[in-house]
Structure 1
Amino acid sequence: MWERFEGRAFRTFLAVVEEGSFSRAAERLGYVQSTVTTQIRQLEEAAGRRLFDRLPRGVEPTEAGRKLALYAQRFLELGEELAGELQEEGEPRGAVKLQVLESFAAGYLWGPLRRFMERYPGIDLQVETGFQQETVEAVRTRRAELGLVPRDPDRADLRFDALLEDELVWAAVPGMAAELERRGYGGLPGCRVVGFGPGCLYTAEADDLLGRHGAAARTRAAFSSPDMLRQALLSGWGAAYVPRSVVRGELERGELAAVKTLDSRPLTHGLISLRHRELSRAGEKLRGFLLESFGRRQT
């Protein structure tokens, strides 16, 4: 039964999900409420189950409704992608979703993305954040067309385009760094280790080093943003195993110091995409622009 539905019905469905109300969705779309009610009823008949729970004030999607929302969004995005692909001449159009690591985006990405949007105003650039494994899964399941990760995931189904060389270093305020220089990993048990949480590659690398050297941090602290992590380090609250790029300015100004006697590890930030799936026109433009912005050649 699904073949009789067009994009308008799915757009209506998503508007109800986002607004939490049939009446607000109708107002947003410029429909009368009966049109929205009819389209949702038809979708529920096709699904064979209820898509919304009716609440005293508004509605919320059922489990089936939440599943349908994922496919409805993909359906609409594919339509936009197709429109962009079929427009072979003129200004590129369509949507492209990029998933990035927040710590890298904060330091390096917003300037290039602003220039990209100025050059291609017809492209709808959508940016989300995620750790390495989350981004790998988003690209593999086509929830994102491109991803930006701190290390090549080394998967046969993914293409990796290197953008920027970096390294993981132990960083702390100068006094704490000097103590760690003197005591090495033996100084970490008396120190807080600050990071981005268990889903983060940097935290996993720090845990591996601590395990190899038989060391354990006194306590742990996890922050969701690079700025929070930097402020925690600047306060002398702890040490962190982070990319040099995240604390580049603080290191250059002498506000933080890298601990040279503790291990550093190389990182190569880069773009990932599905190896055997051609990028949309918008996606190819974004890939080429980012490679150009970071001085890399396209292959």
Structure 2
Amino acid sequence: MEIRHLVTFQKVATLLSFTRAAEELSYAQSSVTTQIRALETSLGVELFDRLGGRIRLTSAGEKLLEYAEQILALAEAARADVAGGDGPSGTLVVGTMESITSYRMPPLLEFLHHRYPKVQLSLRPSLCAETCHALRQGIFDIGFLMEQQTRHQGLETMVLAEEPLVLVAAPDHALARRTKLTLEDLRAASVLATEAGCAYRDLFEVELRGTETMPFLEFGTIEAIKRGVVSGLGIALLPEVTVTGELEKGQVTALPWDIPFSVYTQLAWRSGRRLSRELKLFIDQAVRLMREDAPLAQSG
């Protein structure tokens, strides 16, 4: 077995596509096919079932994938120790979202930039469901989630904190003068929100829906939502960390509504993956710099 054949096999096995594997590896598709055939010939087994235009791993392929990931991780560790003895290096592809990138990650980004300049981060904005899919497919190395659920099929998950949420409005908004709000009060208001697929937005929508579909004013970014709230366009449910400055300046006010659900900021990676020293470093420092005073939990 050649290392390059294992690299190609791992990519095809995670993507379940010869075409996409060829694109990501910058190979001709015929080269990918040839390498997989050579690997199957050397082992004397079929690694993939070809079902028309689709493929899936055989039982032998599933076994080899576990070994391939361990072999490649060890090869990378050996390369790093021998050729890059001056510290961690390489690129980590990180799935994330605006609320985490802009408001939670800066201390982590600053630390890695100054302390480990050879570790490059490629941040990929995506919804939580997309991040989970990309992690399972091996497209992302690690990802941040903000979800109600802390168990995700095929992933290892580390909870960093329960993420406080706050319902905000402009200080002169009609609801800002109330001492207590009901769902009927909120259903009558104009609601500004992120796109569907954001966990706290979806949970809020379920609470408000009742028997009718709630029309939300969708904005592309949290910053745009905040500007809309300040301008009096409506109310918004957001992570508290994203509006701390506006609350302190009196640009927005917290509305008196007891939020009946919780979401948790989490780190996730593919189950069974051997963690490189760079990934271990990222996880350790994320826990140290981003974790709140909440119990730390890990689940699969």
Structure 1 runs not aligned, ≥5 long: 8-13, 19-35, 48-63, 65-77
Query: Hey, what does 1:178 align to over in structure 2?
Result: 176
8 Å contact from structure 1 (residues 99, 144) kept in 2: yes
One-letter amino acid of the counterpart of residue 148, structure 1: F
One-letter amino acid of the counterpart of residue 155, structure 1:
H
Structure 2 partner of 1:85: 77
Identity of aligned residues (%): 21
Q: 1:208 aligns with which of 202, 206, 209?
A: 206
Say which of 233, 248, 272 aligns to 1:237. 233
- The aligned amino acid for 1:254 is G
Pick from 248, 252, 257: which aligns with 1:252? 248
**Alignment CA distance shift 1:277-1:185 (3 Å):** same
Q: Could you tell me how far 1:225 is from its partner in structure 2?
A: 1.4
Structure 1, 260-269 or 146-155: larger mean CA deviation:
260-269
Deviations 1:77-116 (A, max 9, x none): x999776422234311222111112112111212321221
Q: Which amino acid aligns with 2:165?
A: L
| Alpha-carbon distance in structure 2 between the residues aligned to 1:264 and 1:159 | 27
Q: Which amino acid aligns with 1:85?
A: A
SS in structure 2 opposite 1:277? coil
Residues of 1 paired with 2:102 and 2:231: CA distance? 21
CA RMSD after TM alignment? 3.9
Bigger shift: residues 150-159 or 114-123:
150-159
Aligned partner (choices 148, 162, 165) of residue 159 of structure 2: 162
Rounded Cα–Cα distance in structure 1 between residues aligned with 2:130 and 2:153: 17
Q: TM-score by structure 2 length?
A: 0.67
Tell me the number of residue pairs that the alignment of Structure 1 and Structure 2 aligns. 245
- The alpha-carbon distance between structure 1 residues 248 and 83, as it changes in their structure 2 partners (threshold 3 A), is farther
* Poorly superposed stretches of 4+, deviation over 3 Å: 3-7, 39-47, 78-84, 179-183, 214-217, 295-299
Matches within 5 A, 1:38-53: none
Q: Counterpart in 1 of 2:273?
A: 277
TM-score (norm 1): 0.68
Q: CA deviation at 1:232?
A: 0.9
* Structure 1 residue matching 2:164: 3-state secondary structure: strand
**Is the 1:135–1:147 Cα contact (8 Å) retained in structure 2?**
yes
Structure 2 counterpart of 1:258, which letter? A
Structure 1 or 2: larger helix share? Answer: 1
